[in-house]
Structure 1
Amino acid sequence: MSDNKENTNYGKSVEYSRESAEPCAIVKSQVESLTEQVAVNPTVIEPGPVFVKIPVVLAETNITIPVEATIKLDKAAMEIKRIKKNVFLTQSRIIPFSQDDRPGTGVLFIEGFIRKNIEYATQTCTTAGTPNVCGDIRHCTVEVPFNFTTRITFLRPPIFIENTTPSELEFFTDKLQGCDVCSDPVIGRNPCDQSSFVTEFFNEKPFTELVKADITEVDIHTNPTSSCKTPTEQMFTKLTEKVVVNLTLKVLQKQQVRVTAIC
């Protein structure tokens, strides 16, 4: 009899805890109606020659950059779970003039970084006498900078118009008089008037587009420590990365192009 009562009370307590538990998620959905669309004929220009200003590809190049970086984690890690990588360019400068006997080339300066989000497993507790280990998954986001300079060959040279040399006009005068009223007047340039002429052209600046980035890397644990009980598990806080970044870049400039509009 005592056993049955205990079992009954236990069942009631379990049932009460289930009824009082809050739901972990609530989903609400509804079916949306389809809105009909009406086709619109676009307004176009008349057939014939048209001048447009569009980005023109000056050069396209593929560059391989070796990078080595040392990263220190804030907590000791057992294992790297995942590393998400993205490439960003922070600076792009082009010197479009060749300074040697290689015409049709320019020099490209690039700076950027690899944004890396590192997810790794940590050790918070172990079971005595067993190799069982439990822990948390942490993450660390770092930026690995890189820069390089390379020579590019233009498929189409950039268009630049140089500024003209300033021209100045001087005016004559014979009415300059010194302090001595008996002396002759000074004849020459009029210091009160001066005229100049200058023409300033504003050229389109070439710019760079990042087409593709391939990243290959090797992660080396620089200070691993292991236990005699669990030699298969290592703890480390530093890793050295040897990275090979392959970038495909396009160099462009906005230019006026003549096209023909057809019916």
Structure 2
Amino acid sequence: MSDNKKQKHDDYGQKHYRPQITLGKVLTKVPVVLAEPSLQVHTIHKTCFPEDVLEIKDVKKTLILTQCRLLLPTNKLFIKGYVRKNIQYAALTELNPGVTTVSSDLHSHTEHIPFDLITEINDFITKPIMPKRNDRHEFDFLVSSPLPSGYPEKDEMLSSDLSQFHQASSEYYNELPYCELVSSKIIEWVEAVDRCPLDAAEFFNEGTFKETEDKLVIDFTIKILQNQQMYVSSTTNDDEYDCEY
């Protein structure tokens, strides 16, 4: 049996193995945290319902980022996204003044509330590796050719050859920073802007609406990472390293 898969049995008959481990100072490539900013964005949004709403029963919101880009070699961070908002509401179906009841159905309405943000990262936990620039250089060779009549016979025309093109180019494939969403908090204030009372004396405190104005404050934290090479030290006690097979 090879050294990198030495197996043994414990008291329950489970097999274990010892993987091959490179010890010492090792060069590796891993994601490195460049920054972990906490950001805030606020927006105002109008919600239009397709029917008369008696009341809002519940709201669920989820933050979704569609773009998070650290624009190297600057420190500008561009963010785009939206809040997915699902509203469960009671839609008015029937008004029964004689028995003083209001009938309604529970409906659902989902919408996306977009936002965007541009900010600066001034304090890096780890400095990003700036992109190397591509290069293109043209070069020519000297050629000589005879001159037409009217020039001294011993003279020649010295120049580059216009029928040829020479170029040396280099291209670098840089590591692009990327983001991870850590946490979010959304504070929302919703107000009906067109609420009308029900046309019945028994329901003087009831009313319906079709439009609301939503004020949102969105706080969220992200990690900005970049794959970088670094040295790590690997040491282990072989007797203590056991993995379940």
Assess same fold via TM > 0.5.
yes
The one-letter code sitting in structure 2 at the alignment partner of 1:155 is I
Name the residue aligned to 1:175.
145
Q: How does 1:89-238 map to 2 (within 5 A)?
A: 89-98=65-74, 106-152=75-121, 153-163=123-133, 165-175=135-145, 185-227=156-198, 228-238=201-211
Q: Give the TM-score normalised by structure 2.
A: 0.82
Mapped to 2, the partners of 1:235 and 1:178 lie a distance apart of 97
Moved segments of 4+, more than 4 Å: 176-185
- 1:246 Cα offset (Å): 0.2
2:44 to 33, 58, 68: 68
Partner of 2:58: 82
Query: Is the CA contact (8 Å cut-off) linking 2:72 and 2:131 kept in structure 1?
Result: no
| Separation of aligned partners in 2, 1:243 and 1:81 | 18
Shift of 1:148: 0.9
Partner of 1:14: none
CA deviation after TM superposition for structure 1 residue 177, in Å:
5.7
Provide the C-alpha distance between the structure 2 equivalents of 1:63 and 1:208, rounded to a whole number of angstroms.
13
In structure 2, do the counterparts of structure 1 residues 64 and 164 end up closer, same or farther at CA, with 3 Å as the change threshold?
closer
Of residues 49, 56, 61 in structure 1, which corresponds to 2:32? 56
**Percent identical residues:** 29
| Unpaired stretches in structure 1, ≥5 consecutive residues | 1-35, 99-105
Deviations 1:139-185 (A, max 9, x none): 11100000111111211111124236433331111126669999864
Cα distance in 2 between the residues matched to 1:174 and 1:150:
59
TM-score by length of 1: 0.76
Residue 46 of structure 1 and its aligned partner are, at CA, apart by 2.5
- Which letter maps to 2:190? D
Q: Map of 1:42-53 to 2, 5 A cutoff? A: 42-53=18-29
Change (3 A) 1:122 1:37: farther
Alignment partner of 1:255 out of 215, 228, 232: 228
Name the CA distance, whole Å, in 1 between partners of 2:13 and 2:56. 51
Q: Which runs of 5+ in 2 are unaligned?
A: 1-11, 237-245
Q: Distance in 2 between matches of 1:231 and 1:42?
A: 77
The letter of the residue matching 2:79 is I
Question: Aligned equivalents of 1:209 and 1:179: distance in 2?
Answer: 75
Distance in 2 between residues matched to 1:77 and 1:146, nearest whole Å: 26
Partner deviation per Cα, 1:13-67 (whole Å, 9 max, x = no partner)? xxxxxxxxxxxxxxxxxxxxxxx99444252323112222111000111111111
Bigger CA drift: 173-182 or 139-148? 173-182
Aligned AA (1:209): E
Q: CA 1:241 to 1:179, structure 2 compared with 1: closer, same or farther past 3 Å?
A: farther
SS at match of 2:125: coil
Bigger Rg, structure 1 or 2: 1
Instruction: State the one-letter code of the partner of 1:146.
Output: F
Given that residues 70 and 239 in structure 1 are in contact (C-alpha distance below 8 angstroms), is that contact kept between their aligned partners in structure 2?
yes
RMSD of Structure 2 on Structure 1 (CA): 2.4
Between stretches 67-76 and 195-204, larger displacement belongs to: 195-204
Residue pair 2:45, 2:214 contacting (<8 A) in 1 also: yes
